[in-house]
Every structure is written in C-alpha cells, then in structure tokens.
Amino acid sequence: MSTAQPTTHLTLAAEAQDLLFREARTANTFTDEPVSDEQIREIYDLVKYAPTSMNQQPLRIVLVRGAEARAALVEHMLDNNKPKTEKAPLTAILAADLNFHDHLPKVFPHAPDAKDYFTDDDYRAESARFNALIQIGYFILGIRAAGLAAGPMNGFDAAGVDKEFFPEGTHSALVVVNIGKPGPDAWYPRSPRLEYDEVVTTV
C-alpha cells in the first residue's frame, strides 16, 4: 500500500514515489539471490542520462564478483562494513575517472576545445569527483527502480582501494555500494529528515 501523501503537483505515480524515495532504505543485510550483469546493464542504461558538467560522465563502476577481489576489497573496509561486504550478492566500487577529459571529443563534440578546459590536474580531479557524485546519486535511484536495495558506504580506506583496484593512479574511489534483495533485519530505524522550512529559503 502506498504511503504517499496526496499531491496535485507530482506527476510520478505514488507507488513509484514510494519505491524510489519514501520506502527506500539503505540495506545492511541481503539475501543470497544473485544480481546479474543484465540487471546492472539495465540500471546503467537508465541512469546514464544524469546531468554532468559538459557531459563529462566521469563515473566508473567496478563490479566485484571474484572471490579474490572480494577478499581484497573487504580488507580495505572499516570494521562495521566488512561483514556486509563479504555477504552481499554484489558489490560495486564507484570511482571518478580523473582522465574523463580524454572522452570529451566523443561526449561533447560540439565544443572541440572542451578538453583544454581541464589541463590543470587539481581542477580536473575536483570536477571529476563532483560530477561522479551526481552520477552516483542517480545510480542508487536506478538500483531502487530495479526493485533492489543499495547499501552505499564511504567507510573504507580509499587510498588502499585505489592502490588495489586502480594502480595506474587515474581513478579515485568515492563510494562502495552493496547491491541485492534486502535480507532479514536489513534496515536501521528511519532517521529524521529536515523539514522544508529548515532547508528552503526564498530571496
């Protein structure tokens, strides 16, 4: 049953509002039902339209499926995140490609000199991380849209993950997310959210 409040201003169906927002939670346990490559492909094909500056699309996704890779990743997770990362049916490392500008001629073809805006390494890295985080928000919504639960975490040794999975030094791990069907006791109690008047001002 939908928990959506009646509204005349949102065109998205109430059931979809609940699926993506009101009833969606960060999962901490998962069943052993597998998550297929086809499911992730469909999620990506839905969320690839996220807005990014100059269409730079810096997000890169590493699906951790192999036993050795999973064990290596678990070693870099903080203690509370180790067991859920060990047991999740699928874990993804979400990283920013610091050399995203190499793809700008393809994804931003109407500005042939776009790559020249990103010759400064620090500026390029900041832009990559900022825009990848926007894409990560969309990716989490895509996981929910697929009827799955996401358990995003930033409690890990990012430098260790970068060294382990991106030894060339051109990617920056931002979030590790467990993906699957929620298991028993998957949710912590819902924490309060700030209300509209606490967040929004008009000038």
Residue 5 has pLDDT above 70, yes or no: no
Q: Which tens digit of pLDDT belongs to each residue from 145-200?
A: 999 999 999 999 999 999 999 999 999 999 999 999 999 999 999 999 999 999 99
pLDDT at 8: 76
Condensed to tens digits (0 to 9), the pLDDT of residues 107-149 reads 999 998 999 999 999 999 999 999 999 999 999 999 999 999 9
User: What is the model's pLDDT at position 6?
Assistant: 60
* Whether the predicted pLDDT of 100 surpasses 80: yes
Q: Label residue 4 by pLDDT band (50, 70, 90).
A: low
| DSSP per residue, 99-120 | TGGGGHHHHSTT-TTGGGGG-S
Query: What's the pTM value of the predicted model, to 2 decimals?
Result: 0.94
pLDDT mean over 1-30: 86
Q: Name the DSSP letter for residue 195.
A: -
Question: What b/e string do you get for 167-180 counting C-beta neighbours within 10 Å, with b at 16 or more?
Answer: eeebbbbbbbbbbb
Residue 7 confidence (pLDDT) above 80: no
Tell me what pLDDT residue 191 has.
Answer: 94
Is 85 within 8 Å of 91 (Cβ atoms)? yes
3 has a pLDDT exceeding 90 = no
115 near 104, Cβ under 8 Å? yes
2, pLDDT greater than 60 = no
For residues 30-38, average pLDDT: 97
Q: Does domain 24-179 have CATH number 3.40.50.300?
A: no
Segment 44-83, tens digit of pLDDT: 999 999 999 999 999 999 999 999 999 999 999 999 999 9
Answer whether 87's CB lies under 8 Å from 30's CB.
yes
Q: Where are the domains of the chain?
A: 24-179
Whole-number pLDDT of residue 183: 95
pLDDT of residue 129: 98
Tell me the CA end-to-end span of the chain in Å, nearest whole number. 39
